[in-house]
Amino acid sequence: MKLDVIKLDGGKSGDIELSEDLFGLEPRADILHRVVRWQRNNAQAGTHKVKTRSETSYSTKKIYRQKGTGGARHGDRNAPIFRKGGIYKGPVVRSHGHDLTKKFRKLGLRHALSAKAKAGELVIIEDAASEGKTAALAKQVKNLGWKRALVIDGSSVNEDFLKASRNIEGLDILPTMGANVYDILKRDTLVITKAGIEALEARLK
Q: Determine the 3-state secondary structure of 4 from DSSP.
A: strand
Q: Along the 205 residues of the chain, how does pLDDT read in single tens digits?
A: 889 999 998 888 889 999 999 999 999 999 999 999 999 999 999 999 999 999 999 999 999 999 999 999 999 999 999 999 999 999 999 999 999 999 999 999 999 999 999 999 999 999 998 888 999 999 999 999 999 999 999 999 999 999 999 999 999 999 999 999 999 999 999 999 999 999 999 999 8
Cβ(130)–Cβ(60) below 8 Å: no
Q: For the whole model, what pTM was predicted?
A: 0.83
Give which of 112, 186, 196, 189 is closest to 152, Cα–Cα.
Answer: 196
List strands edge to edge, sheet with 149-152: 12-17, 2-6, 122-125, 189-193, 149-152, 171-174
